[in-house]
Structure 1
Amino acid sequence: MPQLRFNITSVGTYQVPVIVGAVVGGCSAINAMAFQRGQRDDYERWEELGGGEGGEVGWGWKGMWEYFLKASRFKEPDPGLAKQFGIRYDRRHWGSENGTEILYEAWKDIPGIEYPDDNGQGESGPQWFPSSVDPATITRSYSNTAHYQPYKSRLNYHLITEHKVSKINFVTADGKEPKAESVTFVSRETAERRTVFARKEVILAAGAVHSPQILQRSGVGPRKLLEEAGIELVKELPGVGNNFQDHTSLNLGYNFTTQPFPNLDALATNATYQAEVDEMWNKTRVGPYSAWGNTASHALVSFPVISPDTYQDLANQIENQDPAAYFPPGTHPTVIVGYKVHLRVLAKGMRSKNTGWIQIANAPSGNAALTNSHPLSRGTIMLNTSDPEGEPVVDYRAMSNPLDIKIFVEMIRLMRRYVLADAIIKQLSPVWYNPPLEMTTDEEIGDWTKRTDVLLPTVYHPIGTCSKMPREWGGVVSEDLRVHGVEWLSVVDASIIPSLVGATTGQSVYAVAEKVRFISTLEV
């Protein structure tokens, strides 16, 4: 539905639509409704990348736990269905189509695989996870329905649609840091500009794509960029728009000769089954439509399981890599320093059995989406210097770090073992076709993964462009999410997340927002 999205196409090697919600509720209004939580290690990295000074704020697993709970309301599956399909969950930490249980159980034959009781407990392995669904209506639950509609009658809550923020305005007193005073916004229809003044502070929450652009338009960002755009520098923060990360993905090609029935393909090819499903949905809100986006087998697999023979060597290569080697020329030294810290903590994750480096979603109908949850490549999101008021320039720079290619090669080798050699999956008579089995060397498989018709540089989980890290590491906000070097300005959205989680990002963003209420009481 293009009318619900901004019209942005990325630049560079992989030119694809940048999917960002242009609707009340943002991306939560258009995503696949997967409500996943990352692993414990993911959030421990958040704390490490804050300089180890989380203090009372606490951005690790322990510090985030209660905010995961505050950000969700868990509806237990029907007990009969849970028993029938083997759905494992643990309410403390807060479906399947026919055949999915075969793919799920098949992971038992992969050495080192362990099954967590629930996605919410923060461990890797094959797992079920809930969806963002309103249990009363069995329709999408998102930030509009959950956080705006119930409270829109409040006198201090004003939502202005069909407008966009142009810039944040600052005042500077002698000897003091700049202070955010007001916000200028413009009508998309009439181009009329208006300004609203802040009584306490300005909170920026435009998402990982637009928050850095708004800061840059406001004079906060890389000096050279702002000078080129003719924007007066308010505060030099080189990290604004850097450290851009997104999950990268590719589709593996295989099918199953022995197809279970029913399956999702039957919804498009079997008119009788489609009519039955439509009737189930219209009458009782059950059936495949009620589990949209959550009908596949999902697994989050650590690298000691993916490649027991190579993970130590890969971790050493990550740890010892020159941090500046694969950044664009002229990247600010503080950004390089921060990336060096990233390499250290990601090397530790490569060695951990609790960092789900690969996320696999495969259905009984065949094929699998293979996702690198922790890519080493870093992109940028910068304003267009020739048109600062237009959409930002998004460059994923996917696969710019060659170790990402090696990582995908090892992932593909694991999937070939899983699909073709697993005794349980043989029930489905698998046939593999992409990448072709004739491709056996690392170079052949690696070249295939880089193809622009194979690799997807985004799974629509952008983060990191206003990272919560020390300023000397290229960070933009502090542990309390206030922008470094200015007053009365905070950022609260996915852009502050310094390192990707091995999951979809929606639940983590909700938890960040819930945590802000606690931070505000500390007056840090």
Structure 2
Amino acid sequence: MPQAPFDYIIVGAGTAGCLLANRLSADPKKRVLLLEAGKKDNYIWIHIPVGYLYCIGNPRTDWLYQTEATPGLNGRTLRYPRGKTLGGCSSINGMIYMRGQARDYDNWAKLTGEDDWSWDKALPDFKAHEQHYKLDSGADPATGDNSRFSDLHGHDGELRIEKQRLRWDVLEAFAAAANEAGIESTDDFNSGDNAGVGYFEVTQKGGWRWNGAKAFLRPVKNRSNLTVWTESQVERLVFEADADGAPRCAGAIVRRGGDAVTVRASGEVILSAGAIGSPQILQLSGVGPAQLLKEHGIAVVKDLPGVGENLQDHLQIRAVFKVEGAQTLNTLANSLVGKAKIGLEYALKRSGPMSMSPSQLGAFTRSDPGHAHANLEYHVQPLSLDAFGEDLHPFPAMTASVCNLNPTSRGHVRIRSNRFDDAPVIQPNYLDTDQDRRIAADSLRQVREIMSRPAMQKYKPEEWKPGVQFQSDDELAKLAGDIANTIFHPTGTAKMGRDDDQAAVVDARLRVRGVKGLRVVDASVMPEITSGNTNAPTLMIAEKAARWIRMAG
């Protein structure tokens, strides 16, 4: 039986899709369909913060993508996690709440010609969905005044943001060593200038992960005009000719319960499938580089050469240091007694290692004085392992991971075939430019400098990886390729831009160029990656888009 048309169809119930579903269904006259290829978020390890260890690489919650062999990584391929469940990546990510820097958004405004992307105009959209712990008491406990925090943060929104429920002496020592190296402490990475060292804030509530589904879907689950389909993967979009002959997106063909179901939208179809999924769906549907589409036997609806190009990601270089006389997770979790203590603390207090995000302490600084802004981000952890998902090392150690916030390397996402269930080709092209390789070498030297400061010396840090024998730029850049890994921030593959930007996929208000009734709303629209973690900016993007969509329809 044919489905009655919806006003809006949202493809992807991840970070952006959940917020959009909430906002667009607020109008009871609008029928909204939210499609998610994955299952419901009723898997226990989604909700226990340390459960990311059991969600990444798990087909229950992860698309299980792999990158192509990458020259800058000396031919290595990487696991490329993307959330496949309600909440999307907010159900498996590191929970770090990080907006980036004001200059990121001011630059977006210049690149798109839309002042609404500037920092001053973006700030209200960040605040709109925040429930920030700093405003719980209504005032700064130190001064009795909350104006400093209320100017920057919101408290009436759905997304809970809290401080972490743990403390490690080795992390305190690293922060002190960073101070000695000239990096000042900060109590707020989200003021528009994130330079400094401090603990990350996280999207948690009472020691539980607070994903997009909890924040935005659960409060509105009883709305009669909101329909949520899980285990429903879009095969391709459906287009019709508009009155003037231009293509209009009229709906989608969805694989659901083994059947191909056609759903239709009288208003708009909104792609929120992420920086991998959205360009893949566009290409499968005939929107993308004409030559690529023809190679796979796909009829060209709209030749947009930028679809799938401009892939940007943060590559973290993991430097490991053995330490002495300090408790680390390596020693605590490598014994049955230690594991029992960890479990008991979480059961009783919702604190300790089981409440940990993958990274606890952060720092933002410059790789050299020539940079006008912080261009490095540190993720510092009281643990070490060979690769994400593998066992902890049997010796006490800590990891100082550092990433280039503004990489100049660009990769791509391209369909491998015309089959919707074939994973796309993902080539991030990490360390593809001289500038990125130079910053990689400089960042490793900076890690060594911080670890050599007096505050760390009581723990006698010994560089275990990459190793002090590597000193030259070429050696360190090559070693970065050997030990670096994605920090899970793919962006830019359907970038927004001005009409004269032939690489732009969407306009400044996220409408697909040359196609009516279709927008992209997720991290893929970022023209340049933000200077920090990407979940919070994606929510801001969705907040703006929801307002524009309501205005249009």
Q: Does TM, normalized by the shorter one, top 0.5? A: yes
TM-fit CA distance, 1:389: 4.5
String of CA shifts for 1:351-375, please: whole Å, max 9, x gaps. Answer: 323x333334243842221222221
Match of 1:507 in 2: 536
Partner amino acid, structure 2, of 1:212: P
TM-fit CA distance, 1:23: 1.0
Number of corresponding residues:
457
Match of 1:432 in 2: 463
Distance across 1 between alignment mates of 2:335 and 2:293: 57
TM-fit CA distance, 1:115: 3.1
Distance across 1 between alignment mates of 2:545 and 2:488: 24
Match of 1:280 in 2: 345
1:352 aligns to 2:372 (yes or no): yes
Equivalent residue runs for 1:117-132 within 5 Å: 117-123=187-193, 124-132=195-203
1:68 aligns to 2:126 (yes or no): yes
1:8 aligns to 2:65 (yes or no): yes
1:34 aligns to 2:96 (yes or no): yes
Mapped contact 2:173–2:455 kept (Cα < 8 A): yes
Cα 1:129/1:360, change in 2 over 3 Å: closer
Match of 1:299 among 363, 368, 374: 363
Equivalent residue runs for 1:232-251 within 5 Å: 232-251=299-318
Match of 1:411 among 412, 425, 443: 443
TM-fit CA distance, 1:106: 1.6
TM-fit CA distance, 1:185: 0.8
Distance across 2 between alignment mates of 1:8 and 1:366: 28
String of CA shifts for 1:8-59, please: whole Å, max 9, x gaps. Answer: 2221323222211111111111112112221112222222221xx114xx11
Match of 2:477 in 1: 446
Mapped contact 1:360–1:368 kept (Cα < 8 A): yes
Match of 1:340 in 2: none
Match of 1:463 in 2: 491
String of CA shifts for 1:465-517, please: whole Å, max 9, x gaps. Answer: 11111243311111111111111111111111121122211111111111223
Partner amino acid, structure 1, of 2:334: T
1:139 aligns to 2:213 (yes or no): no
Cα 1:77/1:151, change in 2 over 3 Å: closer
TM-fit CA distance, 1:101: 1.7
1:253 aligns to 2:320 (yes or no): yes
Match of 2:173 in 1: 102
String of CA shifts for 1:171-208, please: whole Å, max 9, x gaps. Answer: 12464421111211112x52x11111111111111111
Query: TM-score when scaled to structure 1?
Result: 0.82
Mapped contact 1:133–1:140 kept (Cα < 8 A): yes
Distance across 2 between alignment mates of 1:211 and 1:520: 18
Partner amino acid, structure 1, of 2:90: S
Distance across 2 between alignment mates of 1:131 and 1:224: 43
Distance across 2 between alignment mates of 1:71 and 1:505: 16
1:115 aligns to 2:185 (yes or no): yes
Distance across 2 between alignment mates of 1:517 and 1:78: 27
TM-fit CA distance, 1:224: 0.4
Cα 1:276/1:200, change in 2 over 3 Å: same
String of CA shifts for 1:365-410, please: whole Å, max 9, x gaps. Answer: 4222122222111111011136454221111111222321111011
Identity %: 28
Partner amino acid, structure 1, of 2:495: S
Mapped contact 2:61–2:84 kept (Cα < 8 A): yes
TM-fit CA distance, 1:292: 3.6
Distance across 1 between alignment mates of 2:380 and 2:135: 21
Distance across 2 between alignment mates of 1:26 and 1:108: 37
TM-fit CA distance, 1:147: 1.4
Distance across 2 between alignment mates of 1:426 and 1:487: 62
Match of 1:180 among 249, 254, 258: 249
Cα 1:271/1:390, change in 2 over 3 Å: closer
Match of 1:472 in 2: 500
* Matched residue SS, 2:201: coil
- CA RMSD across the alignment: 2.5
Distance across 2 between alignment mates of 1:480 and 1:449: 38
Distance across 2 between alignment mates of 1:90 and 1:360: 26
Match of 1:400 in 2: 432
* Matched residue SS, 2:519: strand
TM-fit CA distance, 1:140: 1.0
Equivalent residue runs for 1:144-183 within 5 Å: 144-173=213-242, 175-183=244-252
Distance across 2 between alignment mates of 1:107 and 1:411: 13
Equivalent residue runs for 1:326-337 within 5 Å: none
1:207 aligns to 2:265 (yes or no): no
Cα 1:205/1:265, change in 2 over 3 Å: same
Distance across 2 between alignment mates of 1:174 and 1:149: 39
Partner amino acid, structure 2, of 1:429: K
Distance across 2 between alignment mates of 1:284 and 1:433: 34
Mapped contact 1:6–1:21 kept (Cα < 8 A): yes
Mapped contact 1:34–1:130 kept (Cα < 8 A): yes
Distance across 2 between alignment mates of 1:522 and 1:54: 16
TM-fit CA distance, 1:159: 1.1
Match of 1:384 in 2: 416
Mapped contact 2:311–2:413 kept (Cα < 8 A): yes
Mapped contact 2:400–2:447 kept (Cα < 8 A): no
Match of 2:86 among 24, 29, 51: 24
* Matched residue SS, 2:380: strand
* Matched residue SS, 1:438: coil
1:363 aligns to 2:382 (yes or no): yes
Mapped contact 2:431–2:481 kept (Cα < 8 A): yes
* Matched residue SS, 2:340: helix
Structure 1 unaligned spans of 5+: 84-88, 312-350
Match of 1:497 in 2: 526
Distance across 1 between alignment mates of 2:276 and 2:521: 13
Distance across 2 between alignment mates of 1:257 and 1:90: 40
